[in-house]
Amino acid sequence: MLRSDRVFGLVVILAALAYIASALQLQTSFLSDPMGSKSFPIGLGAVAVLCGIVMIFKPEDEAEWPAPVAILKIFISVVVMVAYAYALKPLGFLIPTTLAAGILSYLITPRLTFNVMVGIGLAIGLYLLFRYALGLETLQAIPKGWGG
């Protein structure tokens, strides 16, 4: 019987083995202590493998996975976050924040006017808060070279 726990247990075991393998490859230096830099990671990997085995043989009840619509929404919000991470520096604070906050707000409750207001309000409000109340100098409002 295929359950999420079993699949995950297998993933855990594979990842832990990969971690142990890369621990074995670690360069050792001439400054060494009795334990060295490999033993602790190898021990951790072994514990994780054990946990993975337990998960495969004693899985819990199946997790409740969301409906396809909800998965799509989560996927969109993750894409938005990744895009935001890349955009924040080159595009300044205001434009990416308005878009990201607006889209997230729409994903939670779709009410277009309200979502637009949330986006704009959060962008301006948080900018003022971070830049002036908290004195965060690194925050650029708009891209460099736009006159600001």
Partner 1 sequence: MDILSNLALGFSVALSPWTLMLAVIGCFLGTIIGALPGLGPSNGVAILIPLTFSLGLDATSALVLLTSVYYGAMYGGRISSILLNIPGDEPALMTTLDGYPMAKNGRPGDALVISGVASFVGALLATIGLMLLAPLLSRVAYQFGPAEYFALYLLAFCTLGGLSSKNQAKAAFAAALGLAIATIGLDNQTGMPRFTGGNLHLMDGVDFLVPLVGLFAVSEVLIYIEKQGKDSSLGIKLEKVTIPFREIGQSFFTMLRASLVGFVAGVLPGAGASLGSFLAYMSEKSIAGKKGGFGTGVARGIAAPEAGNNAAAGGALVPMLTLGVPGSGTTAVLLALLMTLNITPGPTLFTDRPEVVWGLIASLLIANFVLLVMNVPMVKLFVYILAVPPSLLLPGVMMISFVGIFSLTGSYFDLLLMTGFGVMGYLFRKIGIPTVPIILGILLGKHMEDALRRAMILSDGDVSYLWSSPIAIGLWVAAIVGFVAPMFLRPILKRPDRVID
Residue 145: left (phi > 0), alpha (psi -120 to 50), or beta?
A: left
Binds partner 1 by CB under 8 A, chosen from 2, 68, 132, 138: 138
Q: Would you count residue 74 as binding partner 1 (CB under 8 A)?
A: yes
Q: Which helix (H) or strand (E) segment is 147 a member of? A: none
- Tell which one of 17, 107, 116, 124 touches partner 1 (CB under 8 A): 107
Spatial CB neighbours of 144, under 8 Å, sequence gap ≥ 6: 92
Q: Which is nearer to partner 1, 33 or 145 (CB)?
A: 33
Is residue 115 within 8 A of residue 105, CB to CB? The reply is: yes
Map residues 18-57 to x or -, x wherever contact with partner 1 holds by CB under 8 A.
-x--xx--xxxx-xxxxx-x--xx--xx-xx-xxx-xx--
* Other residues' Cβ atoms within 10 Å of the Cβ of residue 12: 19
Interface residue with partner 1, options 10, 17, 73, 91 (CB under 8 A): 73
**Which contacts qualify for 85-91: CB closer than 8 Å, 24 or more apart?**
89/140, 90/143, 91/143
**Residue 63 binds partner 1 (CB under 8 A):** yes
The minimum distance between CB 110 and partner 1, in angstroms, equals 9
Q: Is residue 141 at the binding interface for partner 1, with CB under 8 A as the rule?
A: no
User: CB 146 → partner 1: shortest distance, Å?
Assistant: 19
